[in-house]
Structure 1
Amino acid sequence: MAKFLKFDCNLENFILQLRQHLDDNNKKIDNLLKQEKKTYANFVKPLEMMDEYLEQFFTPLSHLNSVNNSEKTQQVYTESLPLITEYSTQLLQNIDIYNAYKKILQNEITSLNVEQKRVLELNILHFELSGAHLDKKTKQRLQEINIKKSELSNNFSQNLLDATNAYEYIITDEADIEGVPQSEIKNAKFEEDGVTKYKFTLQMPSYIAYMTYGKNRAIREELYRAYVSRAPQNAKIIDELLALRNEMSQLLGFKNYAELSLATKMAKDEKSVLGFLENLLHDSIPQAKNELQELQNIAPHKLKSHDTSYYAEILKKAQYDIDEEEYRPYFEQKNVVEGMFLFLNKLFCITCKQVDEELWHEKAYAYDVYENNILKARIYLDLEARESKRGGAWMHNWQTHCSDEKGNQQLASAFVVCNFPPSSDTNPSLLRHDDVVTLFHETGHTLHHILSEVNENEVSGVNGVEWDAVEFPSQFLENFVYEPQVLKMFAKHYETNEIISDEMINKLVRSKNFLSAMGMLRQLEFSLFDFKLHTKVYQGDEVQNLLDSIRNKTALIKPPKYNKFQNGFAHIFSGGYAAGYYSYKWAEVLSADTFYAVVDENIFNSPIAKQYQNIILHRGGSQSMQKLYHALMGRDANTSQLLRLNGIKK
């Protein structure tokens, strides 16, 4: 058997193949259930691997729909979702499988290893959260809800992508692009009827460039208005999703969706989450107000939402004599990737070697990953923005490290996707430092998945990890992008090969927490809105009213009424973060605490870094993160390290 799957997705026959795959699985399930003496080996393991192989088959389609979106991928993906959802829901509501899992856990409790016990415990919990133990009518309704939710989430995401791609702002007056980075001007420039024009869009590199550097305030406001009012049709989807989530929660015996969400997380209850967020808010507001006043002092008019990025850049230059554009030549994309691999080699003894493989796009690359010179995994990088790719950045796992039914080892693989400035034969992809942070962040997720040494795929890598701990490894890795000895490994001028100077690094480090308290308030706004939104059923204007009430505490600049941020909040309406956006900050406590422990030991000579690799990365989701963290640090996480990381003084 080949170590890694070949990327292939036959769109023409995909639905037919998917139906066949699901039919085969259902027949296998029937046969497994007919066994009289069910054990972990003859029942649980085959079911586990069925799930793994189905994920391997389906992932190329979902990946293609995200990175090379077309009418065809949309059609096939949309058609496949109800099939997958119906199959998954029926599987998780199968009372016979549920009872078999409980009996196997009871019968084999003394002979099962830690990983196997965790698989059974999580499966039993997931069966109960899917209503396996409920009556037939309730299970039928839950299945209907899951199918509808899946459809609505897909529509939400597609509406957002379509709205982003549909908008463009054409500039003809060169005075209006003064100050915009040359790399972005090159990307925006085109000729039409003999006239030079510049096109700015809502794609992240283009949008951020004008909002940060564009001098024309009216254009900034127009771009901002277009961005925060995208996809108004998503308001109706939000109402439907919230109602369905609440109905599902109550059918399963929870008072609301927030309570249901916490059943699989580190946080104990609603009070714990809201108390955590409110305490951070309390500690951050005084410094945030001071930061805003500094910003207001340099503006010739009262600041509005579309002004903050522009004046923040001016203030940053004034306070730290730092111009992000001066740094971009030092962060040429390929140099950064190679330097990141070098850093990982020094920190974790990991080596990444590029392999020649035909992929979904000419700008995508494959690398084999070796740990201590042993082949461990494969990663795929697709880092540049294009119209057919949805915005943002993410890691998506494909294969999971595990042993199959015959004891053969399967290696892991994963995708790292970003939206960096596109390169061409004459224009290299020069990154902002924030882009470098993003790359390290997604690579942190990737390492968590691919370096797993767990043999049960359902708790290997990122599988089985509590949602409010899953950002821990990604945030941990991104923090190193401000460390001088790490930066010097890859920050070199793409034309001269000159290594970034100590002076430039010092400016970057000193400016790291520029307006950090304001940034903290923004994230807390998202987190509080998401969590409170799922504590009862909000509909129509109630959604906006809730957001406004939270903004009264968190938004030091009142957003305009046309700002309908919720219609673009993909994390909670088309991603997996519903009632869980707080997880970013919750996990950041773990990452900040671990990061400073490693830095205080001088990074490359750190015993804790090696323990982190062995305990957090190698053990995946085989135990709760609470247990793994105690094994790593010998104590609970120190929350004050999060404030230290953000430069916020209590």
Structure 2
Amino acid sequence: MFVPFKTPDFENFSKELNTILEKNEKLIEELLSKEDKTYNNFVRPYMESFEKLDLFFTPLSHLNSVENSKDTQTAYENSLPLLSRYHTKLSQNRELYEAFSKIDSNDLAQKEVIRQEIRDFKLSGVDLPENEKKRLEEINLRLSELNNRFSQNLLDATNAYELIIEDPKDVEGLPESDLELAKTEKDGKTVWRFTLQIPSYMAYMTYGPNRKLREELYKAYVTRAPENQEVIDEILRLRDEKAKLLGFDHFSELSLASKMAPNDDAVVGFLNELADASLPFAKKEVEKLEALAKEDGCESLESYDVAYYSEKLKKLELDFDDEITRPYFEQGRVLQGLLDFVSELFSITFEQVDVPVWNEKVKVYDLKEAGSAFARIYFDLDARESKRGGAWMNDWQTHHEDADGKEYPASAFVVCNFPPSTKDTPSLLRHDDVVTLFHEMGHAIHHLFSQVKERFVSGIHGVEWDAVEFPSQFLENFAYESEVLKRFARHIETGELMPDDLMTKIKKSKNFLAAMGMLRQLEFALFDFMLHQKLYQGDEVQKLLDSLRDRLSLIKPPSYNRFQWGFAHIFAGGYAAGYYSYKWAEVLSADAFFACFESKIKKDMTDGYKHHILQKGASRPMSELYREWLGRDPDPKALIKLYGLENE
């Protein structure tokens, strides 16, 4: 049974939440009082209490991200202390820990639930003295508040800025669709308004001809939310203290305790190995950009020039401009094409359904197999001021069975920030946007395809953080293939299929300036991981970032750049000491992609991928599932091959 989406009662939300938490606590007391505890009469009802809590709370946390308002902010912030205390109390409950320690099962998925629960109890301080447990509870509560504050500061700063351009010369060369979205009236005259929302920001950074205005926009973007510096310092202090309380030398060790990577050295070595492979290629890429900039009279290539000259170089070398793809990628057609592709790849169907949603632009589909609906997906794809930036998948319901054997379906939200459609202008996507949609869909089907009966290891629950990006990156690789693009790339006006030569250029563009892109991600990953290997405070944070830039940033950012103030992945999301996961998982995704596709789709391999990877969630560690599927470990060389960095 699918739970319908319902806007919460913001005014009474905390009260209702507290009632649910009290009921859950009472249930847990009853479960602990059972004399003969089994997996079915103890663990499953315990897991069900988490599902009920998520069904209630997720709509609020979701709305706080996609329809942010004072009401959602207040209700969300008031809920954090209640949830933090509840989860901390459970995770430090010695009786619960001992009960899980005594339960056994012959079922592999159930064994994995028990293993992960015992591990997580230990990582939550179940063995600590009472005074240290109390301190850990205070730390967890404060961290949840700080993560939310970081995110809210960033959203507020993003929405507070605008750049008004009055001279038509300063918008020459911008695509018509971007100009249409930016066009507004001021004092009875047409002007163009650009913001720090990604579609607007990237439009001017990529095509804006006025270098001074590009820098002005860039500076506003990389200096957003200066108040986040204090937030960062406190977050880092508390994470360091938390790690030491739990017996780790530093937070990175605590982070790795539940991931695939075995230790700090393995992560840093992996990232540095990729950096060494990328640097020679990146230097040649930068030289080409510098030559173009000099032709325009620029003495040096600056960070705010990179997108602009990258686009110029792409036109010169590949005769390709991502903008020319937009007439072929109308949002609705792309979405339908993606659904058709996933249907064929994995032998399912999608059926659009009319159910309650939070915004009129949201589309909802049921996933069906053999005529029966087994999951539901919501797509919210348009950018708007009330939505935080970026793209993500958020799970809501999780496929599982309760103690009575009743089966529950999965549901999830896919959220993007694509150019919104207007009365006169359809939402036209760049190919990069298409890749983003495929990526988030990869996350979604990982959650929705699950056939695991145990809630804690079903879908994306319990998946190691450095493996969770594997299915998303796997699917996005198909967005470059002509076999897939032909399903939906049709001109918005003529309906004609995208020409073969343009599809070829899209494929070639995949690795255009790939080494520079690789180095950028490695810089972020090393900064994140090293930042959590000891306690950094104040200027030390910037000095660490600068030291990495000296090695990896071949175009050194200006001194005012404070990237960390907006690094929401690690200060407002779940990627602390885990940003490396994108590259770690990409080894799996590249290897899996080549196993399933070279020049054509290998249906037997995609069937195996669906069965062994997507449907099994975290019922076993990903390394075991991968070996079960392909009979071997992933080949690290596949990532180098994917990026075309095989030979210098």
The reply to whether TM is greater than 0.5 is yes
Q: Which residue does the alignment assign to 2:232?
A: 238
Q: Which residue of 1 aligns with 2:113?
A: 119
The answer (yes or no) to whether the contact 2:5–2:59 under 8 Å persists in 1 is: no
CA deviations over 1:453-506 (Å, ceiling 9, x no partner): 000010000001000000000000000001111000011111111011101111
Q: Which residue of structure 1 aligns with residue 423 of structure 2? A: 425
Where 1:380 maps in the other structure, the secondary structure is strand
Secondary structure (helix, strand or coil) at the match of 1:120 reads helix
Task: Look up the match of 1:644.
Answer: 641
Q: 2:248 is aligned with what amino acid?
A: F
In 2, the alpha carbon distance for the partners of 1:11 and 1:365 equals 24
Matched, 1:529 2:501: no
Asked whether 1:327 is paired with 2:325, we answer yes
User: How far apart are residue 59 of structure 1 and its match?
Assistant: 0.2
Which amino acid in structure 1 is aligned with residue 609 of structure 2? Y
Structure 2: gaps spanning 5 or more residues: none
What is aligned with 1:264?
A: 258
Output aligned runs, 1:364-379, within 5 Å: 364-379=362-377
Which amino acid is 2:490 matched to? K
Q: Is the 8 A contact 2:250 2:533 kept in 1?
A: yes
How far apart are the structure 2 equivalents of 1:135 and 1:45? 29
Amino acid of the structure 2 residue aligned with 1:52? E
Output the CA distance in 2 between the equivalents of 1:348 and 1:4: 25
1:371: Cα distance to partner? 2.7
1:611 and 2:605 correspond = no
Counterpart of 2:593, as a letter, is F
The aligned residue for residue 13 of structure 1 is: 12
> SS of the residue aligned with 1:454?
coil
Equivalent residue, structure 2, for 1:633: 630
- Higher mean alpha-carbon deviation, 504-513 vs 439-448, is at 504-513
TM-score, normalization by structure 2: 0.98
User: Partner of 2:56 in structure 1?
Assistant: 57
**8 A Cα contact 2:4 2:356, kept in partner:** no
Tell me what 2:495 maps to.
Answer: 497
The equivalent residue for 1:554 is 552
1:4–1:411 CA contact under 8 A, matched in 2: no
Name the SS of the counterpart of 1:356 in structure 2: coil
Correspondences of 1:304-383 after superposition (within 5 Å): 304-383=302-381
Residues 449 and 615 in structure 2, CA contact (< 8 A), matched pair in contact too: yes
Letter matched to residue 31 of structure 1: E
- Which stretch shows the higher mean deviation, 265-274 or 9-18? 9-18
Give distance in 2, aligned partners of 1:350 and 1:289: 45
**Residue of structure 2 in register with 1:588 after alignment:** 586
Query: The residue matched to 2:462 in structure 1 has which SS?
Result: coil
SS in 1 for 2:381: strand
Residue equivalent to 2:539: 541
Identity of aligned residues (%): 56
Q: Distance in 2 between matches of 1:178 and 1:201?
A: 18
Q: Secondary structure at the match of 2:349?
A: strand
Distance 2:37 2:634 in 1: 41
Give, in whole Å, the separation in 1 of the partners of 2:427 and 2:641.
33
Partner of 2:26: 27
Structure 1 residues 536-574: Cα deviation after superposition (integer angstroms, max 9, x where no partner): 000000000000111111100111111000010000000
1:576 corresponds in structure 2 to 574
Q: What's the Cα RMSD here?
A: 0.9
Q: Which residue of 487, 509, 512 maps to 2:510?
A: 512
Residues 184 and 209 of structure 1 are in contact (CA less than 8 Å); yes or no, is this contact kept in structure 2? Answer: yes
Contact 2:449 2:614 in 1 (8 A): yes
**Inter-partner Cα distance in structure 1 for 2:151 and 2:519:** 26
Separation of aligned partners in 1, 2:144 and 2:243: 16
Is the partner of 2:174 in helix, strand or coil? coil
Give the aligned partner of residue 194 of structure 2. Answer: 200
1:175 aligns with 2:169: yes
Deviation at 1:370, TM superposition (A): 1.0
AA partner of residue 230 (structure 1): R
By how many angstroms is 1:112 displaced?
3.1
Kindly report structure 1 stretches of 4+ aligned residues shifted beyond 6 Å. none
**In the alignment, which residue of structure 1 is the partner of 2:292?**
298
User: Following TM superposition, by how much is the alpha carbon of 1:372 offset from its aligned partner in structure 2, in angstroms?
Assistant: 4.1
- Aligned partners of 1:392 and 1:183: how far apart in 2? 20
Q: Which amino acid aligns with 2:576?
A: A
- Contact residue 4 and residue 355 of structure 2 kept, 8 A: no
Matched position secondary structure for 1:198: strand
Superposed displacement of residue 406, structure 1: 1.2
How far off is 1:38 after superposition? 1.5
> Which amino acid is the alignment partner of residue 12 of structure 2?
N
1:600 Cα offset (Å): 2.9
* Count of aligned residue pairs for this structure pair: 643
Amino acid at match of 1:347: L
In 1: Cα distance, 2:11 partner to 2:524 partner: 40
Partner in structure 1 of residue 85 of structure 2: 86
1:451/1:570 Cα in 2 relative to 1: closer, same or farther (>3 Å)? same
Q: Give 3-state SS (helix, strand or coil) of 2:412's partner.
A: strand
1:601 to partner: Cα distance: 7.0
The superposition leaves residues 304-329 of structure 1 with CA deviations (integer Å, 9 ceiling, x where unpaired) of 00000000100100001112221101
Query: C-alpha separation between the residues in 2 aligned to 1:286 and 1:331?
Result: 35
Structure 1 counterpart of 2:6, which letter?
Answer: F
Q: Whole-Å Cα distance in 2 between the matches of residues 589 and 371 of structure 1?
A: 30
Match of 2:621 among 617, 624, 629: 624
Structure 1 portions without partners, runs of 5+ = none
2:95 equivalent to 1:96:
yes
Whole-angstrom distance in 1 between the partners of 2:132 and 2:508: 57
What is the CA–CA distance in structure 2 between the aligned matches of 1:253 and 1:409, rounded to whole Å? 40
2 CA distance for matches of 1:372 and 1:556?
54
1:81-108 Cα shifts (integer Å, max 9, x gaps): 111111001010000000010011xxx3
After TM superposition, give the deviation of residue 44 of structure 1 in Å: 1.0
Mapped partners of 2:307, 2:279: distance in 1:
19
Matches within 5 A, 1:424-463: 424-463=422-461
Question: Do 2:330 and 2:427's aligned partners in 1 also have CA atoms closer than 8 Å?
Answer: yes
Equivalent pair of 1:256/1:534 in contact (CA under 8 Å): yes
1:626, distance to aligned residue in structure 2 (A)? 0.6
Q: Find the residue that maps to 1:535 and give its secondary structure.
A: coil
Aligned residue for 2:633, secondary structure, equals coil
